[in-house]
Structure 1
Amino acid sequence: MSELSFADLGLDPAVLEAVVAVGYEKPSPIQAQSIPLLLNGDNLLGTAQTGTGKTAAFALPLLSRIDHKAKEAQILVLTPTRELAIQVAEAFSTYASKIRGFQVLPIYGGQDFYPQLKALKRGAQVIVGTPGRTLDHLRRGTLKLDTLKSLVLDEADEMLRMGFIDDVEAILAATPANCQRALFSATMPGPIRKVAQTYLSNAVEVKIENQTKTVARTTQYVLPIYAERKLDALTRILEVEPFDATIIFVRTKAETTLLAEKLSARGHSVAPLNGDLNQRQREQTVEDLKRGKKDIVVATDVAARGLDVPRITHVINYDVPYDTEAYIHRIGRTGRAGREGKAILLVTPRERSWLRTLERATNSPMESYQLPSPVDLQKMREEQFEAQLMTFAEDGKQPKAVELLNGIAERNNVDIAVLAGALACWMETAQPGALPLEQPAALPIPSPERRGRDNNDGRRPNRPGGHKPGFKKGPGKGGPRPGGRGKPPAGGKRPPRQTDAKR
Structure 2
Amino acid sequence: MSELSFAELGLDPAVLEAVTAVGYETPTPIQAQAIPALLSGRHLLGVAQTGTGKTAAFALPLLSRVDPSVNAPQILVLAPTRELAIQVAEAFSTYASKLPNFHVLPIYGGQDFFPQIKGLRRGAHVIVGTPGRMLDHLRKGTLKLDNLKALVLDEADEMLRMGFIDDVEAILSKTPDNCQRALFSATMPPQIKKVAQTYLKDAVEVRIESASRTVDAISQYVLPVYAERKLDALTRILEVEPFDASIIFVRTKAETIVLAEKLAARGHAAAPLNGDLNQRQREQTVEDLKRGKKDIVVATDVAARGLDVPRITHVINYDVPYDTEAYIHRIGRTGRAGRDGKAILLVTPRERSWLRTLERATNATMEAYELPSPAALQKMRVDQFESQLIGFAEDRKLSKAMAMLDDIAERNEMDITMVAGALACMLEATQPGSLPLEQPEALPAVSTTQPNRDRKAGRPGEFRKGPKPGSYNKRPSGGAPGGKGKFAGKPAGKRPPRQSDAMR
TM-score by length of 1: 0.88
Q: Where do residues 84-95 of structure 1 align in structure 2 (5 Å cutoff)?
A: 84-95=84-95
Counterpart of 2:490? none
Counterpart of 2:336? 336
Counterpart of 1:233? 233
Counterpart of 2:201? 201
SS state at 2:183 partner? strand
Counterpart of 1:45? 45
Counterpart of 1:10? 10
SS state at 2:64 partner? helix
Structure 1 residue 135: Cα displacement: 1.3
- Supply the AA of the counterpart residue of 1:120: L
Cα separation, 1, equivalents of 2:3 and 2:426: 61
1:455 paired residue among 452, 456, 459: 452
SS state at 1:65 partner? coil
SS state at 2:41 partner? coil
Q: Is the 8 A contact 1:6 1:26 kept in 2?
A: yes
Q: Is the 8 A contact 1:113 1:499 kept in 2?
A: no
Structure 1 residue 380: Cα displacement: 1.1
Q: Is the 8 A contact 2:449 2:463 kept in 1?
A: no
Structure 1 residue 397: Cα displacement: 2.8
Counterpart of 2:294? 294
Counterpart of 1:69? 69
Cα separation, 2, equivalents of 1:418 and 1:130: 65
Cα separation, 1, equivalents of 2:400 and 2:206: 79
Deviations 1:360-406 (A, max 9, x none): 11111111111111221111111111111111111223234334545
Q: Is the 8 A contact 1:86 1:106 kept in 2?
A: yes
Cα separation, 2, equivalents of 1:396 and 1:501: 64
Q: Is the 8 A contact 1:109 1:132 kept in 2?
A: yes
How many percent of aligned residue pairs carry the same amino acid?
A: 78
Cα separation, 2, equivalents of 1:2 and 1:326: 16
Q: Is the 8 A contact 1:458 1:501 kept in 2?
A: no
Structure 1 residue 90: Cα displacement: 0.7
Cα separation, 2, equivalents of 1:62 and 1:353: 26
- Supply the AA of the counterpart residue of 2:453: N
Deviations 1:269-311 (A, max 9, x none): 1111111122222122111111111111111111111111110
Cα separation, 2, equivalents of 1:317 and 1:100: 33
Quick check: 1:262 aligned with 2:262?
yes
Counterpart of 2:179? 179
Cα separation, 2, equivalents of 1:303 and 1:415: 54
Structure 1 residue 242: Cα displacement: 0.6
Moved more, 150-159 or 420-429: 420-429
Flag the structure with larger Rg: 1
Quick check: 1:59 aligned with 2:59?
yes
Cα separation, 1, equivalents of 2:74 and 2:184: 19
Q: What's the C-alpha RMSD, in Å, of the aligned pairs?
A: 2.0
- Supply the AA of the counterpart residue of 1:313: T
Counterpart of 1:372? 372
Q: Where do residues 110-121 of structure 1 align in structure 2 (5 Å cutoff)?
A: 110-121=110-121
Counterpart of 2:422? 422
Moved more, 294-303 or 432-441: 432-441
Cα separation, 2, equivalents of 1:313 and 1:502: 37
Structure 1 residue 445: Cα displacement: 2.9
Quick check: 1:219 aligned with 2:225?
no
Q: Is the 8 A contact 1:225 1:444 kept in 2?
A: no
Q: Is the 8 A contact 2:109 2:454 kept in 1?
A: yes
Moved more, 114-123 or 49-58: 114-123
Deviations 1:293-345 (A, max 9, x none): 11111111111111111101111111111111111111111112211111111
Deviations 1:94-122 (A, max 9, x none): 10010010100111111111211111111
Cα separation, 1, equivalents of 2:142 and 2:289: 56
Counterpart of 1:159? 159
Q: Where do residues 354-373 of structure 1 align in structure 2 (5 Å cutoff)?
A: 354-373=354-373
TM-score by length of 2: 0.88
Counterpart of 1:79? 79
Cα separation, 2, equivalents of 1:401 and 1:41: 78
Counterpart of 1:32? 32
SS state at 1:336 partner? coil
Structure 1 residue 17: Cα displacement: 0.5
Q: Is the 8 A contact 2:2 2:28 kept in 1?
A: no
Moved more, 130-139 or 87-96: 130-139
Q: Is the 8 A contact 1:112 1:499 kept in 2?
A: no
Counterpart of 1:19? 19
Is the alpha carbon distance of 1:412 and 1:294 closer, same or farther for their aligned partners in structure 2, counting shifts above 3 Å?
closer
SS state at 1:394 partner? coil
SS state at 1:182 partner? strand
Deviations 1:34-77 (A, max 9, x none): 00110010000011111111000000000000111111000000
Cα separation, 2, equivalents of 1:301 and 1:431: 30
Q: Is the 8 A contact 1:226 1:444 kept in 2?
A: no
Counterpart of 2:318? 318
Cα separation, 2, equivalents of 1:281 and 1:153: 45
Cα separation, 1, equivalents of 2:403 and 2:73: 81
Cα separation, 1, equivalents of 2:364 and 2:2: 35
- Supply the AA of the counterpart residue of 1:359: E
